[in-house]
Amino acid sequence: MNNKNNKGFNLLAVILIMITTSIISAITVGIIITNSSNNKEGLTYGKLIKDDSLQEFLRVYETVTNEYYDDIDKEKMLESAMNAMLNYLDDNYTTYMSKEEREALAERLEGVYRGIGITIQNQTIIELNPEGPAYNSGLMVGDIIIGVDNETFEVNEETSSVVSDLIVKAIKNTDKDKVTIKVKRNEDILNYEIKIENIVINNVTSSLIEDTKIGYIGISIFSNNIGEQFNDALNSLKDLGMEQLIIDVRNNTGGYLDGAKDIASAILPKGKLIFSLKNKDTKEDYVDETTEALDIPVVVLINGASASSSEILVAALKDSYNATVIGTTSYGKGKVQQTYTLEDGSMAKYTTALWLRPNGDCIDGKGIIPDIEVPLETQIDSNGEEINVDNSLPKAIEYIQGQN
């Protein structure tokens, strides 16, 4: 994402310790492209100075800040004004983000974060990232964190947010390269000094399905490094003798447009149309310019949370490669956003174009209908709780085996 111009999960009991605990709603990750200039055409700063409506706004701002009876937080008032301006457009994907929200989004999409590589629920470590420094430090899943650096505390719900805040504070301090974590393990109290590092988020999972020549690649988000991760997985599967491929973008809510383009280019023949962008003035086609291509059956798995860049990839593979789509109808986000980062670190994200699939359709509000619909099924587990059953992957395996 460009430094100047360039919601997933809600923050529940589980807190992923990266740089920040601000985790925003995933669908609005969307499709992000880089903005190359501040003000390409149309209104210029010279014209804005002469704009009567803007001058009226500034006069109201001046009057209120000077004459309002109570103290005013001018930064928050202007933030509200920017929010109102973007909300006026009545576009779900045109939004204002605080500095914290923008940092969380940027970190998620960058594919690299500064941290120690642990996931905690309340004060308990529930996961260790194998790529993170905490993994080899001696910390264990189940350890209860009772201290961070020089701060110690009891084990209770009230202190769970304090734990995450202290770890985040330590990680965000660029002058620090280590953090001390004190944990309770059974009856033992243990201290660990853990190095703070940049950790690569692996957004691709891959394997050769047992007793078959079917490759499986799951993509969780279209991060900045997703093309490289996908190609590594694809080449590994080729080395294992892959003869068919299943690509899974279920619950993948989007990310960088270039990520979808890079993955499609690894599969499509050169010259095939990937997508088109249509703004209020022009329409531009984007085709595969690489020499790489596959020549094997491909199935793509989607569901209602497959959105934006996921849908671009699915449509490209369906229309330009004749891939088979299995699952449930996708989310239906056919808009593309650019972003503008303000001096205070906050960000405006605004829609600049519609994207069209190779067959010319815009899927906004409609989604992509699968070739083979596999409705979501649930069952009751041993604890009496309802859980989802993955019946799309078995159907994809059955279908693709029949293509030989």
End residue of a domain, out of 174, 200, 226: 200
- Is residue 5 one of the residues assigned to a domain? no
Query: Binning pLDDT at 50, 70 and 90, where does residue 317 land?
Result: very high
pTM higher than 0.85, yes or no? no
- 219 and 140 part of one domain: no
CATH of the domain at 164: 2.30.42.10
Would you call 43 helix, strand, or coil by DSSP? Answer: coil
The mean pLDDT of 188-200, rounded to a whole number, is 91
- 194 and 208 part of one domain: no
- 191 and 290 part of one domain: no
- 210 and 142 part of one domain: no
Q: Total domain count for the chain?
A: 2
- 220 and 306 part of one domain: yes
- 189 and 259 part of one domain: no
- 254 and 331 part of one domain: yes
Query: Binning pLDDT at 50, 70 and 90, where does residue 198 land?
Result: confident
134-181 residue pLDDT tens: 999 999 999 999 989 888 877 765 566 777 778 878 877 778 889 999
184-190: Cβ within 8 A, 24+ apart: 184/143, 184/144, 184/146, 184/155, 185/140, 185/142, 185/143, 185/144, 189/146, 190/138, 190/143
- 246 and 318 part of one domain: yes
> Among 69-78, 180-189, 369-378, which stretch is predicted with the lowest mean pLDDT?
69-78
Higher pLDDT, 132 or 235: 235
What pLDDT, on a 0 to 100 scale, did the predictor assign at position 310? 96
End residue of a domain, out of 146, 179, 200: 200
End residue of a domain, out of 172, 200, 228: 200
- Is residue 229 one of the residues assigned to a domain? yes
What pLDDT, on a 0 to 100 scale, did the predictor assign at position 18? 30
- Is residue 130 one of the residues assigned to a domain? yes
- Mean residue pLDDT of the chain comes to 84
Distance CA(195)–CA(201), nearest Å, equals 17
Task: Please give the residue range of the domain that contains residue 330.
Answer: 204-401
Of 394, 398, 330, which Cα lies nearest the Cα of 361?
Answer: 330
What pLDDT, on a 0 to 100 scale, did the predictor assign at position 1? 38
- 268 and 332 part of one domain: yes
- Is residue 247 one of the residues assigned to a domain? yes
The mean pLDDT of 220-243, rounded to a whole number, is 95
